[in-house]
Structure 1
Amino acid sequence: MFSEQFNVRFYETDALAHVSNTVVAGWFESGREPIFKLFSPNLDLRNWPLILASYKIDFHLQIFYGKPVEVRTYVSRIGNSSFETYQEIWQQNQKVASGNTTLVRFDFSSNKAVPIEAEIKSQLQEHFYPQQESAK
């Protein structure tokens, strides 16, 4: 599991006095940065190796200003050229949101998906979601 902590900023709140639902997608993307570094250690945007294929977010509880959040990022599936992450946001010891993202290893010069290297698959495997591990 990868873990990132964020302070909720005032501008991330909305008229209902809780965090806007659009903010969560950004927190999840920031939480995936350690995974991005497995593919591109320097985060070289001129030679980027991944594309986002899909994402889904579920909101469990309201998220509030003034209390930090933790984004937990796991790998839930590894395929030939794609993989999925499962992420959770926690605030005050409660899971407030969760989501799934599918990312594809992509070669922009050929405009095609390409296989994920064995070494990177091995590194991704180290961060499998615990329920996935028991299903093996």
Structure 2
Amino acid sequence: MQFPVRVPIQVRFSDLDTLKHVNNAVYLTYDEVARGHYLGRTGAAIDGGNFVMARAEVDYVRPILFDGTVEIAIRVEKVGNSSFRTYSETWASGELAARIKVVVVWLEDGKPARIPDSLREAIRALEVEAVEGL
């Protein structure tokens, strides 16, 4: 599977829980950072308040320890009318640590609205670029 965006993230001591591995909620924070990078690559203004996470599904594969960086590989799997679904993989120490699916809803005036055509096209172009870059 090809991912158009890969983001390295430094594991911070504050990310750890009492068992000395990255807290399960932090996986979603890492995913959020990568999603921001993805949307930035589309040219979307991520600080405009138009995006809200509506659903998250995490498959935890293995714990992440405090030993450097993680890499989040992210792509958009599906674009609907007012939402899109991302799929990401979290890698740590060269091993898969999690698979995450998130549904993001586009808002206008605080209500779900049709995703702008310009954003749809930018997502499509980014995904095609990843596939053609094989």
TM-score by length of 1: 0.81
2:87 alignment counterpart = 86
- For residues 113 and 18 of structure 2, the distance between their equivalents in structure 1, rounded to whole angstroms, comes to 44
Moved over 4 A (4+): none
CA offsets 1:65-123 (integer angstroms, 9 cap, x no match): 02210011110101111100001110122110111110111112xx4321112221121
Shift of 1:39: 6.3
Per the alignment, in what secondary structure is the counterpart of residue 105 of structure 2? strand
- For residues 28 and 43 of structure 2, the distance between their equivalents in structure 1, rounded to whole angstroms, comes to 21
1:51 alignment counterpart = 52
Per the alignment, in what secondary structure is the counterpart of residue 114 of structure 2? coil
- For residues 64 and 23 of structure 1, the distance between their equivalents in structure 2, rounded to whole angstroms, comes to 12
- Contact 1:75–1:83 at 8 Å: present in 2 too? yes
1:21 alignment counterpart = 24
- Contact 2:17–2:23 at 8 Å: present in 1 too? yes
Per the alignment, in what secondary structure is the counterpart of residue 19 of structure 1? coil
| C-alpha RMSD of the superposition | 2.0
- Contact 1:54–1:102 at 8 Å: present in 2 too? yes
1:52-71 residue pairs with structure 2 within 5 A?
A: 52-71=53-72
Shift of 1:16: 1.4
1:103 alignment counterpart = 104
- For residues 31 and 127 of structure 1, the distance between their equivalents in structure 2, rounded to whole angstroms, comes to 14
CA offsets 1:2-48 (integer angstroms, 9 cap, x no match): 1111111112112212111111111111111124434643x43xx42
Per the alignment, in what secondary structure is the counterpart of residue 86 of structure 2? strand
Shift of 1:57: 1.0
Counting matched residue pairs gives 125
